[in-house]
């Protein structure tokens, strides 16, 4: 068992806040890191300690391996949790952490390399008997090679970044004439996002579902915790996730789950990970990739199984056995997650920046808000647009949809535009309610992405904004503290916030 009492979180926003909560429930101290833009961010105020790591651009702060390791040593942390995004799936980061004598909350560098290189992952999955989408197992080296492969696969095909993820470096190609331009764009995007312009080709599966399986491995056992449905996507970016999937029967869950466990075994996986599959209408499925980290959408699995996946990560990193048994783990009820982003659907989902003048999180039975900002926080262009995740649980899917609509109506964010309206339109849509959708659903339904102009609604929003600003101004008035609460650590956090200004 590894002795760990203090963990540095090499991330920011809602996932840093989420990990801090798990640390505190495991009786561990949490160390936050922050850029100049995040000096008074929510995750900084919530942590036990906070260390500055550089300027606002990620390349000068959150992507600096040397500064993160130095911060861990400075704060006396024994391990680092990478969260998701930034360096979370970079094998060189995990390797540097281990070389520095620190623990890494995640799989080993070799497993990350194997699954991070998509062509290598395809080779390993084929060897392990896991179904893969027909395509190349080597990086493309020329346009002629790409044309030959595409011809053998049959159009349409997908150009994909070998080091990719999150929808970056991906292009669908319908004809030979489109291939050259798609290659150049995918390589350019991959180079900027991952520092690696290697790409490969896959057969494009039309109208599949995106279904992923949660994996946990503690070195002695590897189990799957069922599936998540992630087919509601815009430009390969997930917007809504739910668990379980309307398309997965108990028999199919068992087959896909066994394939996911085989994929984890193929690379000697340790910790929490996710195997992503494309699921066709006829029940055939294909390995897509494995995310070697905690997923943004992990809460829906937690809600239907009653397991804390981040706490399981912390246990495994300390050499403790995971809590879930061998299974099978049958879903209890239904959970849905909506990603609330500072994007403006009325203007093509352009990022919206500024100060959050007022934020009211929803509550009530079966409602969870994993937020990364609160009233008074600044939203900048330096980082991801995710403000928070709204998650609901209910006994069945229709009730979960109704509960999510109620929660969306309760959520109020003033100061930046959000995508709440899109989520309301989607959840009200008959096709979504019936479960008749796939990963190209929003491509066919642009009406759900753009709100219709409604003068009365615009007036109502303006009135609500004015009332919210008045409420926030009243809340900022000084009050006399209760003497019984004088010893609370909240005073330490307030003091740190003031000192960091």
Q: Enumerate the active-site residues.
A: 293
Over 356-413, what HEC string results? CCEEECCCCCCEEEEECCCCCCEECCCCCCEEEEEEEEECCHHHHHHHHHHHHHHCEE
Collapsing DSSP to helix, strand or coil, 337 comes out as strand
Tokens found for residue 362:
């929803």
Q: Which residue has the tokens 């959840």?
A: 427
Q: Which residue has the tokens 């980082």?
A: 383
| Closest alpha carbon to 11 in 78, 89, 119 | 89
| Closest alpha carbon to 275 in 83, 400, 124 | 124
Contacts of 336 (CB under 8 A, 6+ apart): 240, 241, 242, 300, 391, 392, 400, 401, 404
- The Cα 383–Cα 15 span in angstroms is 13
- In DSSP terms, 358 is beta-bridged to 414
Provide the 8-state DSSP code for 341. E
Cβ atoms 237, 166 nearer than 8 A: yes
Backbone angles phi, psi at 188, to 5 degrees: -65, -45
Length of the chain measured in residues: 501
Q: Which residue has the tokens 């055939």?
A: 284
- The Cα 370–Cα 383 span in angstroms is 17
Looking only at Cα atoms, what is the longest distance across the chain? Answer: 76
């Amino acid at each position: 068992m590894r002795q760990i009492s203090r963990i540095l979180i090499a991330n920011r926003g809602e996932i840093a806040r989420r990990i801090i909560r798990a640390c505190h429930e495991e009786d561990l101290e949490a160390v936050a890191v922050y850029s100049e833009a995040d000096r008074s961010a929510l995750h900084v105020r919530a942590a036990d300690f906070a260390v500055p790591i550089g300027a606002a651009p990620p390349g000068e702060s959150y992507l600096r391996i040397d500064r993160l390791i130095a911060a861990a040593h400075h704060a006396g942390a024994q391990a680092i949790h990478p969260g998701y995004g930034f360096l979370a799936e970079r094998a060189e980061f995990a390797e540097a952490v281990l070389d520095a004598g620190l623990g890494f909350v995640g799989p080993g560098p070799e497993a990350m390399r194997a699954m991070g290189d998509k062509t290598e992952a395809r080779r390993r999955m084929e060897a392990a008997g896991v179904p893969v989408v027909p395509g190349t197992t080597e990086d493309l080296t020329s346009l002629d090679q790409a044309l030959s492969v595409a011809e053998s696969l049959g159009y349409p095909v997908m150009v994909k970044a070998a080091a990719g993820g999150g929808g970056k470096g991906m292009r669908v190609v319908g004809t030979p004439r489109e291939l050259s331009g798609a290659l150049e764009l995918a390589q350019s995007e991959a180079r900027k996002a991952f520092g690696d312009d290697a790409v490969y080709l896959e057969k494009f599966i039309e109208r599949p579902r995106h279904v992923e399986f949660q994996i946990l491995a503690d070195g002695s056992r590897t189990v799957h915790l069922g599936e998540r449905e992630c087919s509601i996507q815009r430009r390969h970016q997930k917007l809504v996730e739910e668990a379980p999937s309307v398309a997965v029967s108990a028999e199919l869950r068992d087959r896909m789950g066994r394939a996911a466990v085989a994929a984890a075994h193929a690379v000697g996986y340790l910790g929490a990970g996710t195997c992503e599959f494309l699921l066709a209408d006829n029940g055939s499925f294909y390995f897509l990739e494995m995310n070697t980290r905690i997923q943004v959408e992990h809460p829906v699995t937690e809600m239907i199984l009653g397991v804390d996946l981040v706490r399981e990560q912390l246990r495994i990193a300390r050499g403790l056995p995971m809590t879930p048994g061998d299974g099978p783990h049958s879903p209890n009820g239904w959970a849905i997650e909506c990603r609330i982003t500072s994007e403006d659907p009325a203007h093509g989902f352009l990022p919206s920046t500024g100060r959050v003048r007022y934020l009211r999180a929803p509550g009530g039975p079966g409602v969870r808000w994993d937020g990364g900002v609160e009233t008074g926080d600044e939203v900048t262009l330096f980082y991801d647009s995710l403000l928070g995740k709204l998650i609901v649980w209910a006994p069945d899917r229709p009730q979960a949809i109704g509960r999510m609509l109620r929660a969306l109506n309760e959520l109020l964010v003033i100061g930046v535009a959000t995508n709440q309206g899109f989520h309301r339109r989607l959840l009200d849509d008959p096709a979504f309610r019936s479960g008749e959708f796939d990963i190209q659903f929003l491509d066919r339904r642009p009406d759900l992405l753009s709100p219709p102009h409604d003068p009365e609604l615009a007036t109502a929003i303006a009135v609500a904004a004015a009332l919210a600003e008045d409420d926030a101004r009243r809340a900022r008035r000084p009050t006399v503290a209760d003497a019984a609460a004088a010893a609370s650590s909240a005073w330490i956090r307030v003091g740190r916030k003031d000192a960091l200004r």
